[in-house]
Amino acid sequence: MLSVFTSGSRTEHKRILALALPMILSNITNPLLGMVDTAIVGHLGASYFLAGTAVASMLITQIYWLCGFLRMSATGLSAQALGTKDKRAAARIFYQLLVPACLLGTLVLIFAPVLETLAIRFADADIQTAGVIHHYLVVRVWGAPAALANLLLMGWLIGQQATRTVMLIQIAANLANALLSYVLAIKLGFAVQGVATATVLAEYGILVASLWAVLKRIHWIGPQSTWFSAAGYRAVLGLNLDILLRNLALQLTMAFMVFQAARLDSQIVALNALLMQFFVLTALGLDGIAYAVEALVGEARGRQQYQLLHQRVVRGLWWSGLLALLYSLVFVIFDRAILTLLTDLPELIHLARDYLHYIWLLPLVSHWCFLMDGVFIGLTQGRAMRNTMLMSAFGVFLPLWWLCQTAGNHALWLAFLAFLAARGIGLGWVYWRRWQVWQQGSGEPG
């Protein structure tokens, strides 16, 4: 494995970093500028503004996250089309995925009143907070068609290895969003509706810029009616369904951690939310490497160059492992300093000290599943992602938590680390079996 990493030209390593670094930078700007929105809402004069906006924004974010299958499938299919150098295939993928993205966005608009009711009941909101939730959602849902279309557009561009374009669009939109939020909410006095309006305008700005970038790359090829037949959609919809089920299993696992922590103690909920910020920080970097691997593995798969594909997997694994090791070292050295940046509550900081060893291990354990997710997105093997996620959630996470539940919150964190490890091991095992087939010259396994 070391020889695969060190052999070959430096070009391959440069390509990984050239694709990963823009996405890492883009990932970093999103939470930073999200903090700007939080600060703006936090200066509206009452805490219920912040509470209502947080609940409504979280609901919308969770819906978009579940629809992340649009981004994942678009990346893999687009990367494979790049490998075959087939502009028409790339155009077909774009148009085929644009239809379900727009339909899903329209459904969000239609069911906006239901979403508002769910948000208010979930938060057990008082009258003032419920009013903020209403005023935010009634505006924010109008961005849903653009936001969901942006998922596939971003994925398509990543698959075409245009991560620098994605980065520039994302950063420009985030800066515009922050500026507009300040002007509309504070200067013009539209409060939370101003913040929501700014976000919607930013989403449509991303849509326009991304559409232009995609259409330019496919040489302005228009859609063909045959692309939208049942036969033409079968494989695409099957892939998206598998990834949707995978996302649901992951979301249920994360929700279980939150609700189980709530059963233990309200302070445990706050503690876990604090500790999860370390996972978020880890994901900012590891996701960038995974995006690069998705694009490069998909390109090699499109060319049917399996030796090159394997080399890219191993090189991606090395960079992912190196970054994970760096994260762990930073967490070991600066864990308490990071905690004091995240909160000034002494009781939470004191309680967190009993859980720091989980944080130290988190990057080293999780980077495997981040990387292997990227590999299987590039391979467009949604079934393997679905099956390993289901196995990890219901065959590892829940049984281990049940066996160790007398340990309280420690049981949740042990189960969570085991869940992450199982995902990486499961996908790694499936990949190794496929690699054995490729080595025998038998082509692509089913």
Alpha carbon 122 to its chain's center: 23
Tell me the C-alpha distance between 297 and 344, whole Å.
44
pLDDT at 316: 96
Sequence-separated (6 or more) residues with CB below 8 Å from residue 160: 78, 79, 82, 90, 217, 295
pLDDT of 434 reads: 94
Q: Give me the mean pLDDT over the 175-185 stretch.
A: 91
Q: Which structure tokens are listed for 64? A: 């978009």
- Say whether pLDDT at 24 is over 80: yes
Which pLDDT value is given to residue 342?
78
CA distance 42 to 35: 10
Q: Give dist(CA 425, CA 253) in Å, integer.
A: 18
Query: Residue 361 contacts by C-beta under 8 Å, 6 or more apart in sequence?
Result: 328, 417
What is the average pLDDT across 96-122?
Answer: 92
Residue 41's pLDDT is 80
Span 302-351, pLDDT tens digits: 999 999 999 999 999 999 999 999 999 999 999 889 888 877 778 888 89
Element (H, E) at 403: helix 398-404
In the numeric block, which tokens belong to residue 213?
């970038």
Least confident of 162-171, 178-187, 374-383, 437-446: 437-446
Q: Which pLDDT score, from 0 to 100, does residue 112 have?
A: 93
Contact 197, 190 (CB under 8 A): yes
> How many angstroms separate the CA atoms of 149 and 207, rounded?
7
Measured CA to CA, the distance from residue 423 to residue 418 in angstroms comes to 9
Q: Which two tokens stand for residue 70?
A: 């649009």
| pLDDT, tens digit, 9 for 90 and up, residues 236-274 | 989 999 999 999 999 999 989 988 988 888 788 888 888
For 113-139, how does the pLDDT look when each residue is reduced to its tens digit (9 = 90+)? 998 998 888 777 778 888 988 999 999
Residue 275 vs residue 50, higher pLDDT: 275
Mean pLDDT of 215-231: 91
Interatomic CA distance for residues 299 and 349, integer angstroms: 46
Residue 192 has pLDDT above 60, yes or no: yes
Structure tokens belonging to residue 127: 């009258």
CB contact set of 407 (below 8 Å; sequence gap of 6+): 414
| pLDDT over threshold 90, residue 398 | yes
Q: How confident is the model at residue 390 (pLDDT cuts 50, 70, 90)?
A: very high
CA distance linking residue 385 with residue 424, whole number of Å: 10
Q: Specify the range with the lowest mean pLDDT, choosing from 1-10, 192-201, 430-439.
A: 1-10
Residue of 9, 112, 34 whose CA lies nearest to 280: 34
pLDDT at 124: 74
Residue 32 pLDDT: 63
Q: What mean pLDDT do residues 221-236 have? A: 87
Write out the DSSP string of 297-365: HHHHHHHT-HHHHHHHHHHHHHHHHHHHHHHHHHHHHHHHHHHHHH---HHHHHHHGGGHHHHHHHHHH
Spatial separation of the C-alpha atoms in residues 328 and 337, rounded to whole Å? 14
State how far the alpha carbon of 27 is from the alpha carbons of 163, 172, 348, 381, in Å: 12, 13, 27, 25
Question: What's the pLDDT at 444?
Answer: 59
Q: How far apart are CA 416 and CA 396, in angstroms?
A: 9
The domain ranges of the chain are 1-25+235-439, 43-228
With a cut of 70, say whether residue 35 has pLDDT above it: no
DSSP string across 210-271 = HHHHHHHHTTTPPP-GGGGSHHHHHHHHHHHHHHHHHHHHHHHHHHHHHHHHHHH-HHHHHH
Q: Answer whether residue 427 shows pLDDT above 90.
A: yes
- Where is mean pLDDT largest: 42-46, 71-75, 236-240? 71-75
What share of the chain in percent tops pLDDT 70? 95
Tell me what the pLDDT averaged over the chain comes to.
91
Q: What's the confidence (pLDDT) of residue 5?
A: 52
- Is the confidence at residue 6, as pLDDT, over 60? no
- Those residues whose C-beta lies under 8 Å from the C-beta of residue 34, and which sit 6 or more positions away, are none
pLDDT of residue 9: 66
pLDDT at 2: 54
Confidence check: pLDDT of 148 > 60: yes
**Of residues 140, 149, 139, 144, the one with CA closest to residue 208:** 149
Sign of the dihedral through C-alpha 423, 425, 431, 434: negative
Whether the model pTM is above 0.95: no
| Mean pLDDT to the nearest integer, 163-186 | 93
Tell me which of 2-6, 221-225, 335-339 is least confident.
Answer: 2-6
Closest to 255 measured CA to CA, from 272, 242, 274: 272
* Per-residue confidence (pLDDT) for residue 34, from 0 to 100: 60
